[in-house]
Amino acid sequence: MRSDNVTKGAERAPNRSLFYALGYTREELDRPLIGVVCSQNEIVPGHMNLDKICEAVKAGVRLAGGTPVEFPAIAVCDGIAMGHVGMKYSLVSRELIADSTEAMALAHQFDGLVMIPNCDKNVPGLLMAAARLNIPTIFVSGGPMMAGTMTDGRRTCLSHMFEAVGAYKAGKLDDAGLEEYEENACPTCGSCSGMYTANSMNCLTEAIGMALRGNGTIPAVYSARLRLAKHTGMQIMELVKKDIRPRDIMTAAAFHNAETIDMALGCSTNTMLHLPAIAHECGIEVSFDMANEISAKTPNLCHLAPAGDTYMEDLDRAGGVYAVMKELTRKNLLDTSLLTVTGKTVAENLEGVENLDPALIRPIDHPYSPVGGIAVLKGNLAPEGCVVKQSAVAPEMMTHTGPARVFDSEDDAIAAIYAGKIVSGDVVVIRYEGPKGGPGMREMLNPTSAIAGMGLDKEVALITDGRFSGATRGASIGHVSPEAALGGPIAFVEEGDLISIDIPSHTIELKVDDATLAARKAAWACPEPKIKTGYLARYAKLVTSAARGAVLE
């Protein structure tokens, strides 16, 4: 066993003495040591319950003959970090999580790992670590939040809460109305209740084969989540015994499956950052271009919030991720021969699975759309590409041409939006918010929600080299690459330039001739870095394009 390096032989007597100092017995040290990476903290609603999940995992490990050893991973609450400098630390935490987990796992020579993440960057960060370490690993998340309920019986969620601020600023909602959303949008622990980034990534962890059935959808407050955690703890011992490792599961075909399921579910655009980054750790390239190829063949089967008015608890009741996968197999859109953490193939896992609610998970012959939930657009404004969640775009905004309203930061843009300076037809451009220019590639949920809350989401587009929350809806186009700080064409857009967006044709064009753009580029100078010290400064020096997953080199 790998743990023999710290527990066996006379030369390891000093190591054992330190285990004894921790209270471990000789009998426990004779069993496989299983690292249990618990992301519990008291600042993220999706993580406040992870101590309970962790205890259940450890019980499962012990039941199956292993010795669980808990250690922590950090997590940032994107909602609390939103709208200020804190959001610069969200995406960058992904790399910190991967690096620190690598350090702990190799320093202490665990035989296997159980990862317990839940929220946005915590899930991909731990998947990156799992791929990098390549020791037997399994995931169980903390589970999604329940949807909220307003006093009139309407269901609600975090995306409604952010949009309520826009409505308030537009005079469409009073203080009491805003407070009602505040008190009801997030009623329980768990990852926020729509198909936002956290739930997208937890569903895709299940889809790619790294978690047991129900990981993405069983609500955080259900006891079934604790039973899932116990079974996960038991299953890691099987993976250790059979030496089934992450890269045996996360193959190129598995990433193809994951993107296919992503398109069917209508996941967050942030998956277009995280899947390439996880694949990179596996030595696999997942390109932007792959998204459109898969989307063209994959119908969109689900419209969970923010695209629709259903929530994760509804998807769970309908059969969860496996029911969506079952629909996709009806048109042979998945490779079902692939190995998963169950020790079985995808085909074996899907035996007997049914779609229990065809109104929520559309049958594959009656989809919401014949194409997937995400589209990559290219053109002279984004030569390397940019991303939009097309399943959450109103039909009238699938094509749009309008004048650019240009802002060099999210803060300037949100001030203009709140002041009523953005009008029907405008294309809001927010730049110098990319991975390097931000630094940190902030989410733009505040401006997109303000636009939606003011009733302009069917009339105004937003384009940025930053990114969006999974809670964003409307013609919100992010990850513009190359970013402004690298001299990408978005840096040369001027107020009033016409921008043409054609989502069905996958194009985005700045209606300015090449000679004019060349002259603007010649006169351009990159602004001084916004942050010159600390982790963000180091990150800015190492980070690559959003088109490559914003990985570090």
Which residues are catalytic, by number?
A: 469
Two tokens at 420?
Answer: 């009523």
Where does 369-518 show beta strands of DSSP type E?
A: 375-379, 382-388, 399-407, 427-430, 461-464, 476-481, 498-502, 507-510
* Max CA pair span of the chain: 76
Q: How many residues does the chain have?
A: 553
With contact defined as beta carbons under 8 Å apart, do 461 and 485 qualify? no
DSSP string for residues in 326-374? HHHHTTT-S-TT-B-TTSSBHHHHTTT---S-TTTS--TTS-SBSS-S-
The DSSP bridge pattern shows strands 507-510 and 498-502 to be antiparallel
The separation between CA 190 and the C-alpha centre of its own chain, rounded to angstroms, equals 15
* 62/66 Cα distance (integer angstroms): 5
With contact defined as beta carbons under 8 Å apart, do 110 and 135 qualify? yes
Scanning 2-149, the segments in alpha helix (DSSP H) are: 4-7, 13-21, 26-29, 50-63, 78-81, 90-108, 122-133
Torsional sign, CA 530, 536, 541, 546: negative
User: Which CA distances in Å does 248 have to 282, 397, 514?
Assistant: 10, 42, 48
12 burial via Cβ count (<10 Å: 0-12, 13-18, 19+): middle
User: H/E element holding 540?
Assistant: helix 534-542
User: H/E element holding 203?
Assistant: helix 197-207
* 542/539 Cα distance (integer angstroms): 5
Cis ω on the peptide bond leading into residue 187 (within 30° of 0)?
A: no
Q: Is 511 helix (H, G, I), strand (E, B) or coil?
A: coil
The separation between CA 290 and the C-alpha centre of its own chain, rounded to angstroms, equals 18
* 280/285 Cα distance (integer angstroms): 6
